[in-house]
Amino acid sequence: MKKAYHQAFRIAGQAFALNDLGEVGYSLVKEGTPYEREIGDFLIDWVSDRDHVMQQSSGSTGSPKTIRLKKEHMVHSARATGEALGLGPGTRALVCLPMSAIAGKMMLIRSMVLGWDLYMVPPVAEPLREVSGNFDFAAMVPLQAERSLKHLGRIGKLILGGAPVLPSLLAQLPKKGTEVWQTYGMTETASHIALRKLQRIAVGQDPETVLPPYTALEGVQLKLDARGCLIIDAPGWVDNPVVTNDLVALESATAFRWLGRFDHVVNSGGVKLLPDQLEIRMAPFLQHRFFLTGMKDATLGEKLVLFVEGAGDQAALRQSLEASGRFTKFELPRDIHFVPRFVETMTGKVDRLETISNANQK
């Protein structure tokens, strides 16, 4: 990857020649913390003669799978992000995401390709407590941003991905200063292929009536399949179009609104429900992690079921949802299950299938 290496690349202000990165990686693997060993493993892999990287998907919507990503595609993705957000050589960047996941790896690749000065901290809930100074760019999951609200002014541009951005976070975003962008992408596309700019939204407002749609990065074309799911045609990112399970409302060949996962749709008595959208609307009424799913029902075919992490009162929660007046009778869960702790994937996402399976066995 010699042609893709920028001489301005730094790690915490220290410059490295491309030929030295393998040795740096071996040193981190041998002497580093668990997080530093992950960084070291990837550096060794990146500077090897192989033209690809083997990356495991998150497994949040099914069994994790190992995906072969071409290094040239990852480089293209890095350059597209830099161009879209205006992040050139000398950008002071912070990565606080797992290096085992594609999001963490791409932050390191962007830095090497675009000539950034990269600061790396472990993927903790409050990453800005781990490092001083200001940053031009950072990538976080929504939980990290929510735990870092008082310090987001230290970041010029922030991208959020890996989980939905809930109304509770939107209501607290900085009014000015920090630009916050929501990403859309997946392991198969080497991180995001579309972005949308977020803004503060009052509690109770529907985000989709205020926020813009996702806009594809330069060179990405979009269309729908027969199910209404997104097909991504991105020659620089992938060799062949990617057929997703994401239901979207396509506003143009390069803009869309995400509606939810096709495999999450619940057909309850002939009424099709989108749990992903319902979860966003239901979030203000629940204090703990939760998700909605469909389960077999003798009368309805499928019924909407709510799983909540922790302990609680089913009757009180049901009454609260009904009293809000914000949900139709079809949108209210037929059953509510409290689960002591949700099963998580290796990247910290909720593993819905395993959580449901474990709950059914009790």
The predicted-structure confidence for 288-319, as pLDDT tens digits, reads as follows: 899 999 999 999 999 999 999 999 999 999 99
pLDDT reported for residue 319:
93
Cα–Cα distance between 359 and 151 in angstroms, integer? 38
Largest separation between any pair of C-alpha atoms in the chain: 67
What mean pLDDT value characterizes the chain?
Answer: 92
Instruction: Say if residues 142 and 119 touch (Cβ distance below 8 Å).
Output: no
Domain 265-360 top-level CATH class:
alpha beta
The domain locations on the chain are 2-261, 265-360
Q: Is the pLDDT of residue 28 over 60?
A: yes
Q: Is the pLDDT of residue 61 over 60?
A: no
* pLDDT-above-70 percentage for the chain: 96
pLDDT reported for residue 346:
67
Cα–Cα distance between 255 and 166 in angstroms, integer? 21
Cα–Cα distance between 139 and 118 in angstroms, integer? 12
2-261 has which fold? Rossmann fold (3.40.50)
Q: Give the mean model confidence (pLDDT) for residues 30-55.
A: 94
pTM to 2 decimals?
A: 0.89
Residue range 245-256, pLDDT digits in tens: 999 999 999 999
Q: Is the pLDDT of residue 62 over 80?
A: no
What three-state secondary structure class fits 106?
helix
Instruction: Say if residues 129 and 111 touch (Cβ distance below 8 Å).
Output: no
pLDDT reported for residue 360:
74
Cα–Cα distance between 291 and 99 in angstroms, integer? 27
Can you read off the two tokens belonging to residue 230?
A: 């997104």
pLDDT reported for residue 362:
61
Residue 300 contacts by C-beta under 8 Å, 6 or more apart in sequence? Answer: 268, 269, 334
pLDDT reported for residue 1:
63
